[in-house]
Amino acid sequence: MLQNYAEFSGLELIAIFSEKNLFNIDESYNSIGVSSDSRLVKEGEIFVAIKGEKFDGHNFISKAFEANVKACMISIDEFNKLKDIYPNKSFIIVEDTLLGLGQLAAYHRNRFEIPIIAIGGSNGKTTTKEMIAKVLSSKYNVLKTYANYNNQIGVPFVLLQLNKEFDIAVLELGTNSPGEIYYLANLVKPTHALITNIGKEHLEFLLDLDGVELEETYLFSAVINSGLGFINFDDERLKNYVNILGKFVSYGISKNAQLRYSYSLNDSLNPQITINYNDNSYNINLKTIGYTSALNAVATVAVASQFNIDNNEIIKSLESFYPLESNDGYARMSINNINGIKFINDTYNANPDSMYAGLKNFELLACNGKKIAVLGDMKELGECSNEEHYKIIEYAISFCNKVLLFGDIFLQETEKFNSNKIMIFNSINSLIEELHSIAESGDSVFVKGSRSMKMELVINSYKN
């Protein structure tokens, strides 16, 4: 949990929640910090009892008070159970503690008049966020989304990090269900909005590309009147928003984009980009991998151009940017050379578009040995799940020497192919064992799957 020092007085809590929803909180009240983790909560903070799929913060109210929290935010039903047990303790009483957390964060956000850049989209959000934050940090003190804090719990806690030291915030907004971007955008109130692309994500809940577009473009509605939007002109759906947004910067390969670019990939898949904007032209040689990272970098240039970042500083920052890898080993298009085998680690997550993009990069990669694709199921695709998995198998076997598959959906679709390239596994351990027996020095191995498939274990097995 992110430590924060957001202060709330009794008068402010009355303004946010109304006096009738406060218990033992008056005008003299003052708290510093907000937490939802009873293991880390500190004296003087507000403890928010969030109910999740695997835990319920209301079960840890006693532990929070033992830590001398100033107040606990709890649901109405729980308050009726606890008010007689803790008659002298302070409570904030709400219908939904997750929404209550959002109310605290939204109030805190409104204390600051700084540019806030919100980033949405189906793929590339995190890398684009990291690139933008790195470039802007050359001139400003930047608050950025930490790790995967891009949902209804994470975004409020990032907002609560705001203080007078920050000049700009770069925030990632994620979604997996209708209305989530609308809600988060209302909390964040961005001054600038960037949507990376519209792709096949979370189709179990968003249904189809129309649903994805509707959900993601709520972010543009947050800046439609007084903010600035950044439009990916290469995206067939997003380019239409030049007709809707009042102020925007468009970027793309198209000659009709305001900021135009071209790119090529070297033998190691590092993009070499040429930027043309406002009668200026310059080149950037990235350390990142694959053609999608070129578009992430171009989006970053579009943003940086609006914050008076010198072109030379943009080049320097982007050329020193490296792909991210977590402590657990999952990453976005990161290359690891282990025992003579080149691993392309793209295990952070997967949907059909990102899976195709990763395989396309793998196809372009120069390799003297075998090319082996190791793929895990893509989750939350709803009715189109089998069809999309079939397409991925079809593409992978078109250029790979071996395709190792793991997951229930891949298992179903494998039966439709008659190819000795395909191997299917019902456990990650059996897959790892087989890969160790067939992969040799000089081979290249591409690894990807949805987060829940934990495909990074494949690469970690070579590190231990």
Same domain, 178 and 211: yes
User: CATH no. for residue 401?
Assistant: 3.90.190.20
Domain boundary residue, one of 295, 319, 343: 319
Same domain, 140 and 260: yes
**Residue 326 pLDDT:** 65
Domain boundary residue, one of 45, 70, 97: 97
Give domain status of residue 359, yes or no. yes
pTM (2 d.p.) = 0.92
User: CATH no. for residue 88?
Assistant: 3.40.1390.10
Q: Edge to edge, what strands does the sheet with 34-35 contain?
A: 22-23, 91-94, 71-75, 46-48, 34-35
Enclosing domain of residue 163: 112-319
**Residue 327 pLDDT:** 65
Give domain status of residue 1, yes or no. no
The total number of residues shown for the chain amounts to 464
Tally of domains within the chain: 3
Same domain, 124 and 229: yes
Dump pLDDT digits (tens) for 367-426: 999 999 999 999 989 889 999 999 999 999 999 999 999 999 999 999 999 999 999 999
Please, what is the Cα angle at 342 between 341 and 347, to 5 degrees? 120
Q: Could you write out the three-class secondary structure of 267-294? A: CCCCEEEEEEECCEEEEEECCCCCHHHH
Dump pLDDT digits (tens) for 178-233: 999 999 999 999 999 999 999 877 777 777 888 889 999 999 999 998 999 999 99
**Residue 69 pLDDT:** 97
* Spatial distance between the Cα atoms of 346 and 327, rounded to a whole number of angstroms: 14
Burial bucket for residue 63 (CB in 10 Å: 0-12, 13-18, 19+) = middle
**CB of 428 closer than 8 Å to CB of 355:** no
Give domain status of residue 371, yes or no. yes
Same domain, 133 and 236: yes
* Widest pairwise Cα distance in the chain: 74
Give domain status of residue 107, yes or no. no
Low-confidence residues of the chain: pLDDT under 70? 1, 325-327
Q: Which two tokens stand for residue 321?
A: 């940017």
CB neighbours of 430 closer than 8 A, spacing ≥ 6? Answer: none
Same domain, 166 and 311: yes
